[in-house]
Structure 1
């Protein structure tokens, strides 16, 4: 189980540091069944950790304040003094790690030197939250090895803060929370305001979740993401000016938005309309799972894609094509864009015994349309961050 990845991380450590690692940690990526772009907008989300990981091979450096990372997949190294005040650097992958150290320093706790090599099976830029896995995996390692006594929730919040302050992306809490709190064969309904969460069995009755990676990532992801936040804030302020008692989007109805459409303008109206409808879809998706109704879940996923493409406008031609082609297949119950947008993956609810045929069919169509070889990821829902030792996981 994950032997190839673990061995790759160990070999990278041996090559970089000419010694053996003392600890192995696995930090998962995540999918989100439904609830896109509502994690920073008062909503509920339905994520799960998946069996694609960053594997960290780690050794403490006694009486040293130097932390050295070797990113095996990039063949890049970075060293810094872990006790000094940190600032962002030019290497983006490093900023996720420095941001974690900065957040821990601000909490008043101290850590020591480390040697870390890591390798990953989470495809970068595909909407599977490799950044959250990196941030939270590192925070988890520091918490365990230096006995910092952070709760799981605090580890997730440290990861989110690192992304805000050092990566410049004003993300919600979903990605980090899923990476830390994931449970095998369970999806999680997370209240992004209170951080209360509840697990549901991921019973899909002969269907499975398959990801189609468009292998494109348009450059306006970060700017587009932050622009959407500004659009939503415009709408929220107008809603509150007319309805002071409304505290969040869960209390907003489509009727209220229609009434205020002229004041909002088309752009803010469309963004807010998507959010109001998506929050309701998450609640309906939980009902679909609880009732073992994958057909209804699939319809909701498809409705989400329509909203992301036409109302929130974070899709792109390549992802729209993958979704449209998937939905032409009788054995596909639902499909949608997943992640921040402007590329990355679509998530598809596909009949298990038809998944290979459908994947090959869409691969061929996509290659003809765009000249790109897409990638297919069959995923299983897994545990959150864990330490691996002697062929066993410590959770």
Structure 2
């Protein structure tokens, strides 16, 4: 699959620009085992890169022109490397402009040609946007020798999302895309960016993604609302508890004690965040002990919190989780990503995967008249230069 993507992108680059590209970069999408909506709340998360990629074929040029070709949507955008960069109407272009804007003025920057294509599903909550941002920053670093560290590449991707896309995202998606390692998950401290790796060998179990194929329009607005609500809630907690700097300093008892002052909505948001931060620590412990039953139970708890307290799920995703909740072959399942659609992630016995896909697809089609899209994924290496 990876080689096929590289071959297609290389051939299309040659078709567009009449020569072979100098570099091929692969930038993966990501999953998150647990730790949802806490990356912007100074919590811990447990993501991993996966074997679905945005592939970039790139070369520098000498004429100062920048040409970006989106193979999948027949999109094309050109500008000069020294132009004043501002967000444009073509949203896909802004992921590139936001990255380049941060690197303008650096020694060695010249024009370039890029063709890109993706096997990361759009709108499925697998962070195709982070893969684009970080892959492009990696490509510029490779072409022009900027000497950027992995951490700088991830932060450039995040800032691009903030400034040119308008989503005030945390660091998890970009970090996972850049720092991923094969068959390992990353325990990331979203406050300090300290991280360590944990073996992701699920033995007789596999991770299965079920894409609901829906994306409700209030993803961005709902996301920004949640950020505001938790910030308001944290301010109240800090007033009552001077020792609290971030949510990781809070206990569930503290949140319960100021429930009335928080108001019901902000209480629910804060309650979820505090419990989710602890769940990540418990999940790491379970993973180290290979206690997959506990890991699965934590995933289900997370889903219920996302649905009831954080209110970022939707009927379709709740259905997908409930459809497998009592299946003997399933240890856990939950909504993954920003919410209001996207994927569920399920820990299921390897030999039961195909049967589960068949059953849930049928039930989902009957209920919502939507064809479910399953993704059998493996945990893979982060953004990298492709070599044969």
TM-score of the aligned structures, taking structure 2 as reference length: 0.98
- Equivalent positions of 1:27-42 (< 5 A) are 27-42=27-42
Question: What secondary structure, in the 3-state scheme, does the structure 2 residue paired with 1:161 have?
Answer: helix
Deviation at 1:110, TM superposition (A): 5.4
Deviation at 1:94, TM superposition (A): 0.5
Residue equivalent to 1:241 = 239
CA distance in structure 2 between the partners assigned to 1:92 and 1:181 by the alignment: 26
Question: What secondary structure, in the 3-state scheme, does the structure 1 residue paired with 2:55 have?
Answer: strand
Over aligned residues, Cα RMSD in angstroms? 1.0
Paired residues, number: 388
Change (3 A) 1:6 1:234: same
Residue equivalent to 1:18 = 18
CA distance in structure 1 between the partners assigned to 2:281 and 2:340 by the alignment: 26
Residue equivalent to 1:362 = 360
Deviation at 1:336, TM superposition (A): 0.2
Residue equivalent to 2:129 = 131
CA distance in structure 1 between the partners assigned to 2:18 and 2:357 by the alignment: 43
Residue equivalent to 1:89 = 88
Kept in 2: contact 1:42–1:192 (CA 8 A):
yes
- Equivalent positions of 1:188-267 (< 5 A) are 188-267=186-265
Kept in 2: contact 1:215–1:344 (CA 8 A):
yes
Q: 113, 118, 121: which is aligned to 1:120?
A: 118
Deviation at 1:219, TM superposition (A): 0.3
Residue equivalent to 1:176 = 174
Residue equivalent to 2:5 = 5
* Stretches of structure 1 lacking an aligned partner (at least 5 in a row): none
Deviation at 1:254, TM superposition (A): 1.0
Kept in 2: contact 1:83–1:111 (CA 8 A):
no
CA distance in structure 2 between the partners assigned to 1:154 and 1:20 by the alignment: 29
Residue equivalent to 1:279 = 277
CA distance in structure 1 between the partners assigned to 2:107 and 2:369 by the alignment: 51
Question: What secondary structure, in the 3-state scheme, does the structure 2 residue paired with 1:83 have?
Answer: coil
CA distance in structure 1 between the partners assigned to 2:269 and 2:242 by the alignment: 20
Residue equivalent to 1:302 = 300
Residue equivalent to 1:289 = 287
* 1:52 and 2:43 are equivalent in the alignment: no
**Post-superposition CA distance 1:11-66 (Å, at most 9, x none):** 221222222212111000000000000000010000000000001111111x2221
CA distance in structure 2 between the partners assigned to 1:70 and 1:376 by the alignment: 28
Deviation at 1:307, TM superposition (A): 0.3
* 1:345 and 2:366 are equivalent in the alignment: no
Kept in 2: contact 1:205–1:294 (CA 8 A):
no
Kept in 1: contact 2:320–2:360 (CA 8 A):
yes
Deviation at 1:85, TM superposition (A): 2.1
* 1:75 and 2:89 are equivalent in the alignment: no
Moved over 4 A (4+): none
Q: 106, 111, 120: which is aligned to 2:109?
A: 111
Kept in 2: contact 1:83–1:110 (CA 8 A):
no
Change (3 A) 1:364 1:109: farther
CA distance in structure 1 between the partners assigned to 2:119 and 2:264 by the alignment: 41
Kept in 1: contact 2:243–2:249 (CA 8 A):
no
CA distance in structure 1 between the partners assigned to 2:46 and 2:166 by the alignment: 25
CA distance in structure 2 between the partners assigned to 1:171 and 1:111 by the alignment: 27
Greater mean alpha carbon deviation, residues 239-248 or residues 280-289: 239-248
Question: What secondary structure, in the 3-state scheme, does the structure 1 residue paired with 2:169 have?
Answer: coil
Change (3 A) 1:109 1:300: farther
Question: What secondary structure, in the 3-state scheme, does the structure 2 residue paired with 1:40 have?
Answer: helix
* Stretches of structure 2 lacking an aligned partner (at least 5 in a row): none
Question: What secondary structure, in the 3-state scheme, does the structure 2 residue paired with 1:362 have?
Answer: helix
Residue equivalent to 1:142 = 140
